[in-house]
Amino acid sequence: MCIRDLNQTIHLGFTNKEMPAGTHICFIYNDDEERRAITIKFLATAFQYNEAVFFFADKWDKDQLRDKLSSEGIDVSAAENSGQLAISDASAVYYPEGSFSAEEMWQRLRDAYDISIEDGYKGWRGSGEMSWALNDIPGNDQLIRYEYGLNNEMVERPFTAICQYNANLFGGAILMEVLSVHPYMIARGEVISNPYFKGMSN
């Protein structure tokens, strides 16, 4: 049986703020060094609080990411072997069969959260590079619907996610759509309520 604490708060690592678990954060960046520093702190802090950790890499070399986590004192090999840490190619997570389905991705995230609780973790946090959506794959037009639906998924399963969008790759119009479906955003290294968020469906 999964026992979920729907009211817990968590430390994000890169800011002193505590945020509710189940926070859906948009990170639009053009400074890759800052982006990497924030990501590493976000992921590494999870180990202090017994959370499972996921990263879905598209452009970031996975071994370099492992090295960065190691420099934060994380025993990466042990964490991966135990299942606490999973660093995966974005393609293997978002479109493992060659096409993207919002429904299938929501189910994968539900399963990941349930398994993390069953395995004794407090919950899970994760981050993904969303540049995969620029690839010419069937279903990539479901991106905004998928992002919007995550808000509803997090009500019952309060996983915490940072969705990363490189402003040098995505156009302004799509980035405004992306902002409209995320309740929170990262600005100048802090998490703030997103003034562009359009709200949640029932």
Residue identified by tokens 């606490």 is: 84
Angstrom distance (rounded) from CA 187 to CA 194: 10
pLDDT given for residue 199 in this prediction: 76
pLDDT given for residue 6 in this prediction: 58
Confirm if 135 and 59 have CB atoms less than 8 A apart: no
pLDDT given for residue 202 in this prediction: 46
Angstrom distance (rounded) from CA 130 to CA 115: 24
DSSP 118-159: HTT-S-EEEEEEGGGGGS--TTGGGHHHHHHHHHHHHHHS--
Domain ranges of the chain: 9-193
pLDDT block averages, 10 residues each, the chain of length 202: 63 93 96 97 96 97 97 98 97 97 97 95 96 96 97 95 97 97 96 90 50
Confirm if 27 and 186 have CB atoms less than 8 A apart: yes
Question: Domain spanning 9-193: which CATH class is it, in words?
Answer: alpha beta
pLDDT given for residue 17 in this prediction: 85
Q: What is the pTM of this model?
A: 0.94
